[in-house]
Structure 1
Amino acid sequence: MSVNDNFQQAKQQYEKWGVSVENAIEKLKNVSISIHCWQGDDIAGFEVNQQELSGGIDVTGNYPGKAVNPEQLRSDLEKALSLIPGTHKINLHAIYAETDGEFVDRNELEPKHFTNWVNWAKENNLGLDFNPTLFSHPKAADGLTLAHPDEEVRDFWIQHCIKSRRIGEYFGKELGQSCLTNIWIPDGYKDIPSDRLTPRKRLKESLDEIFAADVDETYNIDAVESKLFGIGSEAYVVGSHEFYMGYALKNNKLCLLDTGHYHPTEVVSNKISAMLLFSDKLALHVSRPVRWDSDHVVIFDDELREIGLEIVRNNAIDKVMIGLDFFDASINRVAAWTIGTRNMIKSLLYALLLPHDYLKQLQEEGNFTDRLALMEEFKTYPFGAVWDYYCEKMGVPVKEQWLDEIKKYEKAVLSHRE
C-alpha cells in the first residue's frame, strides 16, 4: 500500500474519535524546534584561542567527520534540515562567533561577529536563538562565573551576558522573529559548602545587572536555566531550580527546563502544567539523561511522549519554546540531529492525534478504567502512517529513507574531513 493509502486508513480510525488529522498536521507545520548547533562539532566552537571543554560538560566518542569551521557546520546543519519536516531555528553559543582570525574575548563580542550566521539564516528561512558561553574559558577555570567572589571575574561575565543579549536582539531584528537568549552557568562546588546563601546573592545581583541593560524584548526573550549538579559541582549548584524559578517569576523572565537537569526520579513533563499556571511562556531543552545529565540523543521514549502530550493537551504549543540539547560524538553527528529532531516532532504529532477532551472528561467523571484503557489502546493506533504522510507532504524522506541520504553525505563530504 502507498503512503497515502495507509494515511487514509489511519485517518478513518482517528476520526472515529473526533480527531481531525488534517488539523493536527496543520498545527504541526507551524511548530518551530530550536536545533542546537553544538551537536555538529562537539561544543568546540571557533574561538581563536580555543580552550579545552570544561564546566562539567563532556562529549564522548570520536566518530569521523566533525565540523571544524563555520562553513562545515552550516553545511552539516543544512543537510540535517533537509531531512527534518518543518521550518525551524538554530541555537548558537557565543563560542560560534566568527572573528576573521582576530582574538576577541567574550566580553567584547558584537553582532558583527555573527553576520555570517544571520545571512545564512535569512537564506534558509531560519530563526536564531543564542546562549552566552560561561564555560571553557580561563575565567571559568575554578567553576565559578556570575557567582564568583572576585568582582573583576564577575564583571567580565556580566559584560559577556549583556553583549549576548544584544546579539540576541540583533538576531531578532534581522530575522523578524524573537531570539531566545538563555543563560546557563556551571557555578557550584565539588564538596559540601559552608555557605550556600552568599554565592546565590552574588548570582542574583549579577543577573539584576545583566537584565538592567536596555534590550528590546520584542526581539530578545531572556531565559534562565537551572541544573541539579555537574562534574566538579556535585554537592552544590548555585543556580538551582528553586533559585531560577523564583527569579524568573519575580522578574518576568522565562524559566528554561532542561530534561537532564533534575533528579533521576523527576521528569520535566510533570512540571510543564504547573509552570504554565504562573508563566505566560516556558522554555525547554529536550535531551535524554541516562542515569545523569549525559545529553544522549533524544529517542521516542515515554518521557518524550509525555512532554509532547503535556504541551498539546494544555493548548501550549504557542507557549512552550522547544529547544534541543544533546551531543553524541560516537555516531554520525548529522544523523544525531536528524534522529533527535524528528523524534521531538513525532512526539507532538502523537499528542495531536489523541481525543484529549474526551480523556479529560473521563478523568473528571472518575471513570479511570476507560481512561486507562483508551490511553493504552491509542499507543498502538497507526500514528506512524500519519507521520509518513506528513514527511512526504513536507518533502522530506519517509521512514528510514533519510538514513540513505546521511550515508551518501558521509561518503561524499564527512569522510574527506581530517
Structure 2
Amino acid sequence: MTINERYEAAREAYKAVGVNTDEALEALKRIPISMHCWQGDDVIGFDGAGGLSGGIQTTGNYPGRARNPQELMNDMGKALSLIPGKHRINLHASYAIFEEGEWADRDQLEPKHFAKWVEFAKERGIGIDFNPTLFSHPKAENATLSSEDEEIRSFWIRHVQACIRISEYFAGEQGTPCTMNIWIPDGFKDVPADRTSPRARLKDSLDQILSMDYDKTKVYVAVESKVFGIGMESCTVGSHEFYMNYASKNDILCLLDSGHYHPTEVVSDKISSMLLFFDKVALHVTRPVRWDSDHVVLFDDETKEIAKEIIRGGADRILLALDFFDASINRLSAWIVGMRNMQKALLNALLLPNETLARLQEEREFTEQMMLQEELKLYPVGDVWNYFCEINGVPAKEDWFEEVRSYEKEVLLNRK
C-alpha cells in the first residue's frame, strides 16, 4: 500500500471513533516548535567563552560540531528542511555574530550582533526566540542576578535588559512576538545559611530589569526554574516557587522545563494548573534521565502526556520549545529526531477523541475510559504521520536519515 492508501484506511479508522484526521493535520501544521541552536555546537557559542560552566555540561565528541556561525546555520537549515511544517529558532545571547575585529561583552550586545540570524530566519519565514546567557562567563563564576557583588549583579541586569532590546528587534523584524527566557545558574553546593537574601537580590534584579520600557506585545519575558545543577545541588536561588510567584505577580511568563523538577514530578501534570492562572505558559521539552540530563526528546510516555495537555489546554496558549544537547551522536539527527518526536506526540494527542474521553471521566465511566485509551494506543497514528510528512514535502518514516548520512559524509566529517 502507498502512503496515501494507508492514510485513507487510517482516516476511516479514526472516523469510527469520532476523530477527523484532516482537521488534526491542519491543527498540527499550525503548531510551531522553537528549535534550539545550542544542540549544534555543544552550547559553546561565538562570544569567546570556549566552554560550558554554570552547572551544565555536554558529553561526547561526535565529529562534525559546528565551529562558526555559517556552519551552525547550514546545519540548522538542513535539519529544518527534514522536519515538516514551519517552526522557530531559539537563540542564546552567546551566539552573537561579530564583524572581524569587533567584540562586545554581554552587557553591551546590540541588535546588530544578531542581524545575520534575522536574515537566516527571514529566508525561511520563521520566527526567533531568545535567551540571555548567564553562564560560561568570568562574571558568572559565583552568582549572577543574585550576586552579593553589586558590580557583577549590575552587569547581568544590563545584559538582560540588552536582551530585551534584541528581542524587540527580532519581533519587529519577524512580525511575530519573541519569547525571551531568563535562566540563571545561581545556587549553593552545600546547605546555605541564608536562602532569603540571595532570593531578595534576584527579585530586585528582576524588578530593575522589568522597570525598563519595552513593548510587551512583542516580547514575552519568561523565567525558568531549576531544581538543582552541578555545583548547586543543595539550593537553587531561582526555584519553581520563587519564579511561579514572581511571574504571577509581575504579569510575565513562567517557563516549565521538563527536566527541572524532582524525578517524581512531571510537567504534564503542571500545565493544566498553570493555564488556570496564566494566559500563556512557556515550555522547554527535554528528556531527563534520572536528573536534568537534557537527552534527545523521544516519543515516550511523558512527551505524549505533555502533548495531550498542550492540545487539551489550547495549543495557542503554549509557547513550545525544545532544550537538549547531546554531543555523543550526530547533532543534526538529534535535532530531527527530537523535533519530529514532539510533532508525533502532538499528532497523537490531536488524534484522540478528547471530548469522548473527558465525558467518560465526567460520568465516572472509568472502565470504558481505560479500555478506549488503551485500544487507541495501537491505532495507526504512524500512517497519519507519514502522510503529514509527504504533504509537507519532507521524507516519511526513516527515509530522512539517508540525507543526514550523506550530509555527515560530505560536510561534517570534513570539519577538522
Q: When the two structures are superposed, what TM-score results if normalisation uses the length of structure 1?
A: 0.99
CA distance in structure 2 between the aligned counterparts of 1:107 and 1:395, rounded to whole angstroms? 42
Distance 1:234 1:221 in 2: 30
Residue deviations 1:143-202 (CA, integer Å, cap 9, x gap)? x10000011100000000000011000000000000100000000000000001110000
Question: Residue 26 of structure 1 corresponds to which residue in structure 2?
Answer: 26
Matches within 5 A, 1:118-133: 118-133=118-133
Q: C-alpha separation between the residues in 2 aligned to 1:157 and 1:254? A: 20
Give 5+ residue unaligned stretches, structure 1.
Answer: none
Letter in 2 for 1:114: F
Map of 2:297 onto structure 1: 298
| Residue equivalent to 1:386 | 384
One of 315, 318, 322 as aligned partner of 1:317: 315
Specify the alignment match of 1:402 in structure 2: 400
Show CA shifts across 1:296-346 (max 9, x none).
0000000000001111122x1000010000000000000000000000011
2:403 corresponds to which letter in structure 1?
E
* 3-state SS of 1:277 partner: helix
Percent of matched pairs sharing the same residue = 60
Letter in structure 2 aligned against 1:75: N
- CA drift at 1:39: 0.1
- Which ranges in structure 2 are unaligned for 5 or more consecutive residues? none
Note the C-alpha offset of 1:51. 3.7
Equivalent residue, structure 2, for 1:44: 44
Q: Distance in 2 between matches of 1:7 and 1:339?
A: 22
CA distance in 2, matches of 1:357, 1:124: 36
Distance 1:240 1:318 in 2: 26
Give the deviation of 1:217 after TM superposition.
1.4
- How far off its partner does 1:83 sit? 0.5
Letter in 2 for 1:44: I
What is the rounded CA distance, in whole Å, between the counterparts of 1:72 and 1:271 in structure 2? 38
Q: Deviations over 1:72-118 (max 9, x none)?
A: 00000011001100101000000100112422100000000000000
Q: How does 1:188-337 map to 2 (within 5 A)?
A: 188-314=187-313, 316-337=314-335
Separation in 1 of the partners of 2:121 and 2:51? 28
- Report the TM-score, using the length of structure 2 for normalisation: 0.99
Residue 124 of structure 1: how far off its partner (Å): 1.1
SS of the residue 1:224 aligns to: strand
Q: What letter matches 2:199 in structure 1?
A: R
1:122 Cα offset (Å): 0.6
Aligned partner of residue 256 in structure 2, secondary structure: strand
SS in 1 for 2:377: helix
Q: 2:164 corresponds to which letter in structure 1?
A: R
The answer for the alignment partner of 2:3 in structure 1 is 3
**What is the Cα deviation at residue 38 of structure 1?**
0.2
- Partners of 1:73 and 1:157 lie apart in 2 by 26
**Which amino acid in 2 is paired with 1:106?**
R
Instruction: Find runs of 4+ consecutive structure 1 residues off by over 6 angstroms.
Output: none
Contact 1:64/1:415, CA 8 A, preserved across alignment: yes
Report how many residues are paired.
415
Deviation of 1:248 after TM superposition, in Å, equals: 0.5
Report the 3-state secondary structure (helix = DSSP H, G, I; strand = E; otherwise coil) of the residue aligned with 1:44. Answer: coil
Q: Distance in 2 between matches of 1:214 and 1:89?
A: 26
Partner of 1:296, secondary structure, is coil
Q: How far apart are residue 276 of structure 1 and its match?
A: 0.1
**Using the alignment, how far apart are the partners of 1:364 and 1:220 within structure 2?**
39
Match of 1:75 in 2: 74
Q: Name the residue aligned to 1:360.
A: 358
Please state if 1:141 is matched with 2:141. yes
Following TM superposition, by how much is the alpha carbon of 1:52 offset from its aligned partner in structure 2, in angstroms? 2.5
Asked if structure 2 preserves the Cα contact closer than 8 Å seen for 1:276 and 1:282, the reply is yes
Map residues 135-174 of structure 1 onto 2, 5 A cutoff. Answer: 135-142=135-142, 144-174=143-173
For 1:74 and 1:295, how far apart are their aligned partners in 2? 22
Paired with 2:88 and 2:212, the residues of 1 have a C-alpha distance of: 25
Distance 2:246 2:115 in 1: 32
CA shift digits 1:213-241 (9 cap, x unpaired): 11111211100000000000000000000
- Aligned-partner Cα distance in 2 for 1:374–1:400: 29
1:280 Cα deviation after fit: 0.4
How far apart, CA to CA, are the structure 1 residues paired with 2:88 and 2:311? 20
Q: CA RMSD in A?
A: 0.6
CA contact (8 A) 1:51 1:137 kept: no
SS, match of residue 321 in structure 1: strand
Shift of residue 23 of structure 1? 0.5
Is the aligned partner of 1:105 residue 2:108?
no
SS across alignment from 1:123: helix
Letter of the aligned partner of 2:254 in structure 1?
C
- In structure 2, distance between residues paired with 1:52 and 1:86: 33
